[in-house]
Amino acid sequence: MNKRQQIGFDHPVASDITPESVFRARRSFLGTAGVAALGGLLPAAQALAAQDGLAALPARLDPRDSTTEKPTPYSDVTTYNNFYEFGTSKSDPSRYAGSLRTRPWTVVVEGEVAKPRSFGIEDLLRLAPMEERIYRHRCVEAWSMVIPWIGYPLSQLLRQVQPTSKARYVEFVTLLDPAEMPGQNDAVLQWPYLEGLRMDEAMHPLALLTFGLYGKLLPNQNGAPVRMVLPWKYGFKSAKSIVRIRLVEKQPVTSWMRAVPNWYGFYSNVNPNVSPQNWSQAHERRIGQGSFGGLFTPQVPTRMFNGYGEQVAQLYKGMDLSKDF
């Protein structure tokens, strides 16, 4: 019997509070108690939030859409990623995203909709029940993670504004503010960061409007206060720190399409059989799961649609995905 089992998951000793252990303890609680709504904050989650100043974000695990694979440690999820608004190296976002102010924050939802509206972040946090979804996450640079995100389907928000029959695509716009996002002083990409989806992709239940991870609000480097998560697409399709969602008739041109059009197409579905880039998409490195502190990261084969084909393949029926990459 380990220490946690002796003392109970909700009374951890200080040295025991690692984000992962808190998460695992809560998971086993959910496992035994059933998926009861996590009404209040669990003591362990409160302690954890105090550690890095992020508030806990209670959510109910969605076991149907969650993988049972081992989540990547919190320390890797929050220190190894891309957010070019803060620099181009993997450690830049965690180092420099502290300059981003996420309150107050509003998201404008406009375009081909009957009821355009701007939503304050507090409204968005209350709009629908929070769900925890443990998704695989695959970057086009051939590394991957398993991340317990918290949010609700984007469809819940889009329904509120009543899309018109002309709404065929959705465009996501990240904040433009070179003072808070110093990477925007470099012309590596055209700013603000733009991404897009077809309407049926945006309405798909897996398309998560995301506010948190590992039981808490998003750290800035992971796209606070609100971002998209699209587990069947390469990571760059999931725009962070969104301020505008525009419903449009024509397919938007995204930042990455504009920067390197022959590498990055509009769809960008995870596809091990198509590598428009000059490197292979057939395998991926699972960050944080190797021996010797992740030095020898295991290579795993990449799956079509990142393993979500059963849910999303029908969206692309009749399309030639080697052309529409």
Ligand X SMILES: Nc1nc2c(c(=O)[nH]1)N[C@H]1C(S)=C(S)[C@@H](COP(=O)(O)O)O[C@H]1N2
Binding site for ligand X (CB under 6 A): 81-85, 139, 174, 193, 222-223, 235-236, 238-241
Q: Choosing among Mo ion, ligand X, none, which partner's interface includes residue 289 (Cβ < 5 to 8 Å by kind)?
A: none
- Closest separation between CB of residue 234 and Mo ion, Å? 6
2: exposed, middle or buried (C-beta count within 10 Å: 0-12, 13-18, 19+)? exposed
Q: Choosing among ligand X, Mo ion, none, which partner's interface includes residue 174 (Cβ < 5 to 8 Å by kind)?
A: ligand X
Task: Count residues binding Mo ion (CB under 5 A).
Answer: 4
- Does 139 bind Mo ion (CB under 5 A)? Our answer is yes
Q: Which parts of 78-107 interact with Mo ion (CB under 5 A)?
A: 82
Q: By C-beta, is 235 or 288 nearer to Mo ion?
A: 235
Q: Choosing among Mo ion, ligand X, none, which partner's interface includes residue 226 (Cβ < 5 to 8 Å by kind)?
A: none
Among positions 236, 264, 305, 316, the unique one binding Mo ion when judged by CB under 5 A: 236
Q: By C-beta, is 66 or 174 nearer to ligand X?
A: 174
Q: By C-beta, is 142 or 247 nearer to Mo ion?
A: 142
What Rg value do the Cα atoms of the chain yield, rounded?
Answer: 19
- Closest separation between CB of residue 141 and Mo ion, Å? 6
Strand-pair partners of 217: 212
Pairwise CA distance, residues 191 & 92, whole Å = 18
Query: What token pair was written down for 179?
Result: 């003072």
Q: Please, what's the b/e burial string for 238-256 (b: 16 or more CB within 10 A of its CB; e: otherwise)?
A: bbbbbbbbbbbeeebebbb
Among positions 19, 235, 288, 294, the unique one binding Mo ion when judged by CB under 5 A: 235
- Closest separation between CB of residue 240 and ligand X, Å? 4
Q: By C-beta, is 174 or 269 nearer to ligand X?
A: 174
- Does 169 bind Mo ion (CB under 5 A)? Our answer is no
Pairwise CA distance, residues 102 & 137, whole Å = 24
Q: Choosing among Mo ion, ligand X, none, which partner's interface includes residue 240 (Cβ < 5 to 8 Å by kind)?
A: ligand X
Q: By C-beta, is 35 or 188 nearer to ligand X?
A: 188
Q: Choosing among ligand X, Mo ion, none, which partner's interface includes residue 271 (Cβ < 5 to 8 Å by kind)?
A: none
- Closest separation between CB of residue 83 and ligand X, Å? 5
- Which of 300, 253, 263, 251 minimizes the C-alpha distance to 69? 300
Query: What token pair was written down for 21?
Result: 């252990």
- Closest separation between CB of residue 227 and ligand X, Å? 7
Q: Are strands 106-111 and 117-120 parallel, antiparallel or unpaired?
A: antiparallel
In order, the DSSP letters of 201-240 are HHTSTT-EEEEEETTEEPPGGGTTT-EEE-TTB-GGGS--
Pairwise CA distance, residues 174 & 194, whole Å = 7
Asked if residue 189 lies in contact with residue 207, where contact means CB atoms within 8 angstroms, the answer is no
- Contact footprint for Mo ion (CB under 5 A): 82, 139, 235-236
